[in-house]
Amino acid sequence: TQLLEQSPQFLSIQEGENLTVYCNSSSVFSSLQWYRQEPGEGPVLLVTVVTGGEVKKLKRLTFQFGDARKDSSLHITAAQPGDTGLYLCAGYSWGKFQFGAGTQVVVTP
Amino acid sequence: DTAVSQTPKYLVTQMGNDKSIKCEQNLGHDTMYWYKQDSKKFLKIMFSYNNKELIINETVPNRFSPKSPDKAHLNLHINSLELGDSAVYFCASSQVGMSSGNTIYFGEGSWLTVV
């Protein structure tokens, strides 16, 4: 049983479109991280959110931590082919980060 | 220079064999990890070492034995390989032990296929 559920599992969009991916759990996390993993590479940290309701922006990426610290969303504005990758969320609880299964995002030119 | 490097990147081996994956980090971090990513991309922690001391040992078959000769190295030895061991194994490190604000740096992964 996975602690974190990510949706959708797969998302294919055209360049210039917006997208949102979700990370949900019934558990409360001290913090939540988002990583992007490209084919043949390891995950790379994008952001850490700590406070309930927190919003962080990283260029065209907007991350939000739910008020109850159980869920998070990642919104990409005007997606580009370079945004293609597997987006993983990881919640911190019980002394370790638990990862979701990821959302595979494909942005076509 | 690669921050977390692991070898080999690809490994194809027969059932029943014993194999090792090596990992080194040049970031000066105290803590290193092994993660397993299955075919559904689910990333699960296996082990965590802090300064050569085992900190986290998830429910992993005892055919998997990590070894940390020093804090910059964490190797993974797998005995009697089974088909279900096929996965991508990621080595990782962080500045201090796993805590809520830490950044985990991952290696490129070792793709293990057991036939």
Who among B41, B101, B105 is closest to A102 (CB)?
B41
Note down the domain range covering A53. Answer: 5-108
Can you give the pLDDT at residue A95? Answer: 80
Task: Work out the minimum CA distance from A108 to partner chain B, whole angstroms.
Answer: 22
The closest alpha carbon to B96, from B39, B44, B28, belongs to B28
How many pairs of residues across A and B have Cβ atoms under 8 Å apart? 55
The closest alpha carbon to A102, from A39, A28, A34, A14, belongs to A34
Can you give the pLDDT at residue A3? Answer: 82
Task: Work out the minimum CA distance from A17 to partner chain B, whole angstroms.
Answer: 25
Q: Identify the band that residue B1 occupies on the pLDDT scale cut at 50, 70 and 90.
A: low
Burial class of A3 by CB neighbour count within 10 A (0 to 12, 13 to 18, 19+): middle
Q: Which of A67-71, B28-32, B101-105 has the lowest mean pLDDT?
A: B101-105
A48 touches chain B (CB under 8 A): yes
Domain boundaries, chain B: 4-114
Residue of A nearest to B111 (CA): A40
Task: Work out the minimum CA distance from B96 to partner chain A, whole angstroms.
Answer: 12
Q: Do A41 and B98 touch (CB under 8 A)?
A: no
The CATH architecture assigned to B4-114 reads: Sandwich (2.60)
Q: Which of A61-65, A78-82, B56-60, B69-73 has the lowest mean pLDDT?
A: B56-60
Q: A2 pLDDT exceeds 80?
A: no
Q: Identify the band that residue A25 occupies on the pLDDT scale cut at 50, 70 and 90.
A: very high
Catalogue the long-range contacts made by B35-38 (C-beta closer than 8 Å, 24 or more residues apart).
Answer: B35/B89, B35/B90, B35/B91, B35/B92, B35/B106, B36/B87, B36/B88, B36/B89, B36/B90, B37/B87, B37/B88, B37/B89, B37/B90, B37/B109, B38/B87
A2 touches chain B (CB under 8 A): yes
Q: Identify the band that residue B16 occupies on the pLDDT scale cut at 50, 70 and 90.
A: very high
CATH for A80: 2.60.40.10
Q: Identify the band that residue A94 occupies on the pLDDT scale cut at 50, 70 and 90.
A: confident
Contact residues, chain A, for B90 at CB < 8 Å: 42-43
Q: Do A92 and B99 touch (CB under 8 A)?
A: yes
Q: What is the mean pLDDT of residues B45-66?
A: 89
Q: A1 pLDDT exceeds 70?
A: no
Can you give the pLDDT at residue B102? Answer: 83
Q: Which of B46-50, B66-70, B101-105 has the lowest mean pLDDT?
A: B101-105
Can you give the pLDDT at residue B52? Answer: 85
Residue of A nearest to B43 (CA): A99
> What is the radius of gyration, based on Cα positions, of chain A?
13
Q: Identify the band that residue A93 occupies on the pLDDT scale cut at 50, 70 and 90.
A: confident
Total domains in chain A come to 1
Task: Work out the minimum CA distance from A43 to partner chain B, whole angstroms.
Answer: 6
Question: Which of A54-58, A90-94, B36-40 holds the top average pLDDT?
Answer: A54-58
